[in-house]
């Protein structure tokens, strides 16, 4: 699987680098020349894992010298005495014989014959030419891999030219230039090699090369001609005898005091408990005992393979096998729903499999559960069988016994398993790994080390959800999607872009919310969960003012944190008021400044009445008569439901726009653009004596009101005191009841059949057109207004960090 650090990047924020095209709503504009030299804010990005590519190695050419051989030593050749991994998928390995799953036939072949199941033998490289691709992977194996001179070996393989000639050469590894032993054979119509030959020569390691004459492709295996012999006594025994007495190996013709490795495998896997080392005596004879100890739990019934190799080497010295027999059916139980301790929860699936039953006969499987009837299944021609059930929700948690009866012979086999109580449903939750983070830790890249990590739990597996992060400061909102895993969990993080020219814009409080749909398809929300980016983490009460200057009659915007969660807090400025902190221990409020408040430097004091901790900050009250209001545009609300957008403004419908700080008696012009099937709107409004102009944008009750869903952009143009045209811009969004913008609503035929709908009963902008530079500034102005957040998905290592 690809490393999690390999990610796919996608820009999602309302910001791009300077000089790049800016994307906004449903249209794209280019940064105006006036803005081209400005540094853009960081972009929002979502980073997700993707599979990594692997470079294929260069394919070697066939040897020119018929005595040349390829080097051996691949770790995936199936050499005896080493642990090998099959290339074909196998069922999950058992933690014990009671929970084992049946392996694939390829695994069985590997451990019974020690043949290569498809990997390049002993490092043999497949020198495939492109024209040979249809032949498939070239495979070649020999069995056994060791024996005295004159041993007959089986040659097997696939991927050869159908019906083509195969040249087999054997040459000693001690002298590659020696005259090889040649053997000519051929593949069948399927390109499969199946033949036997004898190997004769002096003791030593030999390379066996099989070359496809038509294509020149070849593979190499090894065979060790050895004088070492191994006796296995007994070669057949019952499971009771195997447990009580075991099997004795006698290995002869070793060097005095030579140490050898003994690897024992059954049909499914190597058995470490039975494997080990043996040391020869002065006469070159070593003995080794294999006994089915009680700690093996159930004894495997069937063939065992024994491989003897030089200690610490892959060179095989001897091999053999023995059989453990039983009259009883063999039983194993396993479950894909098993807990970590192997128990199976109520409602989980129980699989019962086994072998050693009478071939093609009825087998009765009693699951040992009250109220669950036994199943009668038919065994295969190999005596294998299988059955499965779902554990009842009301099954009593305890140890149970599966009883399998061979109806032909009446013999019985058993296996135990444990039923556990089903885990209680986990309520969906959203949690963060910290509530505060320093600016240095928050700002970074997608290296997995920066930002605040979030954990979503308790959702259904493979549930898509959207997470949104908003900041208290001039940072663009973040919105991205993620999907829960098979456990119904997902992880993501939020961090700031290290490319920001002024990282301090990231200081402040953030809110993160997750929206998903439940099993009934209804939208649900988790959060908001808050965190704060600070210069330094401290336990002292912290106070932050939006501005440390305020005019008489205005309000002092203040944020306070590090308070007792839900505790009472006394705030003294003028007058004194007691407020309650939220469950994060924070207060965000506007403190009114009286019209006749004393001007000059004042002090605001905060006291946590629970801990009696205090903190103070100074601010300056300015004389209201000195106040100069800069032109500004306020849009309220910035997010409005469709039902509230459509109707008569006198009844409260629509979105109010207020422009203040203008020259009384003048006039403004404004233009509004919206979704595809809403006509653009342009109009004017007078500036009143207080320097304020206002207007409302609303929709009409039309046949398909969903066309109004989406984002709208407003540009206000006014003339300043120097006679220069200036612009103000903003936006608002019309959403459905589920807070969705709903695309553009309906089919194209439904939306376009009667033409675009109007705003405020007129569509002047659709006929007159809008100034391109003006709208370029609209998009650019919004995009460059603040910082941006980045998201990093599936970062499991985030959790457990400390602030």
513-563 pLDDT, tens digit each: 999 999 889 999 999 999 999 999 988 999 999 889 999 888 999 999 999
pLDDT at 728 over 90: yes
642 and 757 fall within a common domain: yes
Identify how many contiguous H helices and E strands the chain contains and give both numbers. Answer: 7, 54
Both tokens of 773, joined, read 């530079």
Residues 670-697 pLDDT 10s: 999 999 889 999 999 999 988 899 999 9
Q: Shortest CA distance to 715 belongs to which of 753, 749, 668?
A: 668
Provide the CATH number for the domain around residue 320.
2.60.40.1930
d(CA 309, CA 316): 4
Assigned domain for 444 exists = yes
The predicted-structure confidence for 589-613, as pLDDT tens digits, reads as follows 999 999 899 999 999 999 999 999 9
In a domain, 749, yes or no: yes
Least confident piece of the model among 136-150, 316-330, 618-632 = 618-632
What pLDDT score was predicted for residue 459? 92
Whole-angstrom Cα distance, residue 553 to residue 599? 11
Interatomic CA distance for residues 631 and 683, integer angstroms: 19
Q: Are residues 572 and 648 located together in one domain of the fold?
A: no
- Alpha carbons 554 and 594: distance in angstroms, whole number: 8
pLDDT of residue 721: 84
pLDDT of residue 403: 96
Q: Is residue 426 domain-resident? A: no
Please check whether residues 619 and 636 belong to one and the same domain.
no
Q: Are 787 and 500 in contact (CB under 8 A)?
A: yes
User: What pLDDT is stored for residue 624 in this prediction?
Assistant: 84
Position of tokens 């057949």?
236
DSSP 36-51: TTSPPPPPPEEEEE-P
Q: Let me know whether 621 and 724 are in one domain.
A: no
Residues 6 or more apart in contact with residue 316 via CB below 8 angstroms:
79, 80, 81, 144, 145, 146, 224, 307, 308, 309
* pLDDT score of 268: 73
How many CB atoms within 10 Å of residue 190? 10
Average pLDDT over residues 158-162: 95
Question: 221 and 233: one domain?
Answer: no
Give the single-character DSSP code of 460: P
Position 37 in a domain:
yes
Q: Domain limits at 618?
A: 542-626
Q: Would you say 696 and 655 are in contact if contact means Cβ atoms under 8 Å apart?
A: yes
This prediction has a pTM of 0.40
Distance CA 108, CA 94 (A): 15
Same domain, 495 and 621: no
Residues 308, 355 within the same domain: no
C-alpha separations of 314 from 68, 76, 80 in Å: 22, 11, 7
Report the distance separating Cα 402 and Cα 374, nearest Å.
10
Distance between CA atoms of residues 322 and 265, nearest Å: 11
- For residue 461, CA distances in Å to 384, 504, 607 come to 34, 39, 47
Same domain, 154 and 122: yes
Q: Among 225, 241, 268, where does a domain finish?
A: 225
SS3 string of 337-353? CCCCCCCEECCCEEEEE
SS3 591: strand
- H or E segment to which residue 440 belongs: helix 439-442
Contact between residue 791 and residue 446 where contact means Cβ atoms under 8 Å apart: no
**CATH, residue 640:** 2.60.40.10
Share of the chain above pLDDT 90, in %: 54
Same domain (yes/no): 656, 735: yes
Cβ(141)–Cβ(110) under 8 Å?
no
Asked if 386 and 341 sit in the same domain, the reply is: yes
Average pLDDT over residues 120-131: 45
Is the model's pLDDT at 313 over the cut of 70? yes
782 pLDDT above the threshold of 70: no
Residue 23 has pLDDT above 90, yes or no: no
Overall number of domains in the chain: 7
Determine contact, residues 104/91, Cβ cutoff 8 Å. Answer: yes
Alpha carbons within 13 angstroms on the beta-carbon side of residue 575 total: 4
Task: Tell me how far apart the alpha carbons of residues 577 and 589 are, in angstroms, rounded to a whole number.
Answer: 12
CA-to-CA dists, residue 418 to 332, 352, 392, 421, 803, angstroms = 13, 13, 13, 10, 42
DSSP 75: T
Question: What confidence tier does 738 reach under pLDDT thresholds 50, 70, 90?
Answer: low
More confident residue, 417 or 797: 417
Domain presence at residue 79:
no
In a domain, 516, yes or no: yes
Within a 10 A sphere around the Cβ of 179, how many other Cβ atoms? 10
DSSP state at residue 780: H
Final residue belonging to a domain, choices 626, 652, 676: 626
Mean pLDDT of 645-664: 92
Q: What is the DSSP string of 364-412?
A: EEE---TT---EEEE--TTS-EEEEEEPPTTPPSEEEEEEEEETTT--E
List, for residues 208-218, the tens digit of each pLDDT value: 999 999 999 99
592 falls within a domain: yes
Over residues 138-149, the mean pLDDT reads 92
Separation CA 555–CA 196 (nearest Å): 96
Rounded CA gap, 704 and 700, in Å?
10
| pLDDT band at residue 344 under the 50/70/90 scheme | very high
Domain-located, residue 148: yes
Residue 620 CB contacts under 8 Å (≥ 6 apart), including other chains: 548, 549, 550, 599, 600, 601, 602
User: Residues 458, 357: one domain?
Assistant: no
pLDDT band at 269 (very low <50, low <70, confident <90, very high): confident
CATH number at residue 158: 2.60.40.230
Residues 165 and 188: their CA atoms lie apart, in Å, by: 10
Give 646's DSSP letter.
Answer: B
Do 763 and 657 belong together in one domain? Answer: yes
Q: What mean pLDDT is reported for the chain?
A: 78
User: Which residue in 699, 709, 702 sits closest to 738, CA to CA?
Assistant: 709
- Which of residues 379, 394, 420 is at a domain's end? 420
pLDDT band at 294 (very low <50, low <70, confident <90, very high): low
């Amino acid at each position: 699987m690809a490393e999690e650090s390999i990610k796919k990047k996608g820009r999602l924020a309302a910001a791009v680098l300077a000089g790049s095209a800016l994307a906004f709503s449903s249209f794209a504009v280019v940064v105006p020349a006036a803005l081209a030299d400005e540094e853009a804010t960081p972009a929002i990005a979502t980073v997700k894992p993707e599979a990594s590519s692997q470079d294929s190695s260069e394919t070697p050419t066939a040897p020119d010298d018929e005595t040349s051989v390829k080097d051996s030593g691949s770790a995936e050749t199936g050499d005896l005495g080493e642990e090998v991994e099959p290339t074909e998928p196998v069922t999950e390995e058992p933690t014990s014989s009671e929970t084992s799953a049946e392996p694939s036939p390829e695994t069985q072949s590997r451990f019974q014959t020690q043949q290569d199941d498809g990997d390049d033998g002993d490092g043999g490289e497949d020198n495939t030419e492109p024209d040979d691709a249809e032949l498939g992977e070239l495979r070649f194996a020999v069995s056994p891999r060791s024996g005295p001179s004159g041993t007959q070996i089986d040659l097997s393989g696939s991927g050869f030219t159908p019906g083509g000639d195969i040249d087999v050469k054997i040459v000693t590894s001690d002298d590659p230039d020696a005259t090889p032993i040649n053997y000519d054979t051929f593949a069948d119509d399927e390109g499969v090699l199946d033949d036997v030959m004898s190997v004769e020569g002096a003791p030593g390691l030999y390379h066996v090369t099989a070359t496809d004459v038509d294509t020149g492709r070849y593979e190499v295996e090894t065979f060790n001609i050895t004088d070492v012999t191994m006796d296995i006594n007994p070669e057949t025994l019952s499971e009771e005898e195997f447990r009580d007495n075991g099997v004795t190996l006698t290995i002869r013709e070793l060097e005095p005091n030579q140490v050898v490795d003994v690897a024992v495998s059954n049909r499914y896997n190597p058995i470490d408990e039975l494997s080990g080392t043996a040391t020869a005596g002065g006469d070159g004879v070593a003995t080794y005992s294999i006994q089915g100890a009680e700690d093996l739990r159930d004894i495997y019934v069937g063939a065992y393979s024994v491989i003897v190799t030089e200690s610490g080497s892959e060179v095989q010295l001897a091999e053999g096998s023995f059989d453990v027999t039983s009259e009883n059916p063999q039983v194993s139980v396993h479950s894909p729903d098993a807990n970590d301790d192997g128990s199976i929860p109520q409602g989980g699936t129980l699989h019962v499999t086994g072998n050693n039953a009478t071939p093609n006969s009825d087998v009765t499987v009693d699951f040992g559960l009250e109220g669950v009837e036994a199943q009668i299944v038919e065994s295969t021609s190999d005596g294998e069988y299988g059955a499965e059930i779902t554990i009842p929700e009301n099954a009593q948690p305890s140890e149970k016994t599966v009883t399998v009866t061979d109806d032909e012979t009446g013999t019985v086999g058993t296996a135990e398993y444990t039923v556990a109580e089903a885990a209680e449903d986990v309520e969906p939750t959203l949690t963060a790994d910290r509530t505060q983070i320093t600016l240095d830790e928050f700002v970074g890249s997608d290296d997995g080390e920066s930002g605040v990590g979030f954990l979503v739990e308790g959702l259904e597996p493979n549930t898509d959800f959207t997470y949104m992060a908003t900041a208290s400061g001039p940072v663009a909102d973040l919105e991205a999607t993620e999907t829960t895993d098979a456990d119904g969990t997902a992880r993501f993080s939020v961090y700031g872009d290290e490319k920001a020219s002024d990282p301090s814009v990231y200081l402040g409080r953030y809110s993160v919310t997750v929206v998903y749909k439940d099993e009934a398809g209804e939208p649900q929300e988790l959060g908001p969960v808050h965190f704060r980016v600070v210069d330094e983490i401290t336990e002292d009460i912290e106070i932050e003012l939006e501005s440390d200057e305020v005019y008489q009659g205005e309000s002092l915007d203040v944020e306070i944190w590090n308070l007792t969660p839900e505790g009472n807090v006394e705030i003294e400025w003028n007058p004194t008021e007691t407020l309650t902190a939220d469950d994060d221990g924070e207060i965000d409020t506007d403190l009114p400044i009286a019209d006749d408040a004393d001007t000059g430097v004042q002090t605001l004091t905060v006291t946590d009445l629970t801990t009696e901790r205090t903190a103070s900050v100074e601010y300056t009250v300015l004389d209201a008569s000195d106040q100069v209001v800069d032109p500004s545009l306020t849009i309220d609300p910035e997010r409005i439901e469709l039902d509230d957008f459509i109707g008569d403004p006198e009844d409260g419908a629509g979105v109010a726009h207020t422009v203040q700080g203008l020259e009384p008696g003048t006039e403004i012009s404004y233009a509004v653009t919206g979704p595809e099937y809403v006509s653009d709107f342009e109009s004017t409004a007078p500036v009143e004596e207080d320097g304020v102009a206002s207007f409302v944008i609303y929709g009409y009750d039309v046949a398909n009101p969903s066309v109004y869903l989406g984002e709208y952009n407003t540009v206000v143009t006014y003339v300043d005191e120097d006679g220069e045209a200036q612009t103000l811009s903003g936006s608002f969004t019309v959403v459905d009841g589920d807070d969705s913008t709903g695309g553009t609503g309906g089919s194209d035929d439904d939306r376009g059949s009667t033409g675009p709908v109007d705003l405020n009963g007129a569509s002047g902008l659709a006929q007159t057109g809008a100034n391109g530079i003006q709208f370029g500034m609209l998009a650019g102005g919004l995009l460059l207004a603040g910082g941006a957040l980045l998201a990093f998905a599936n970062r499991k290592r985030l959790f457990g960090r400390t602030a």
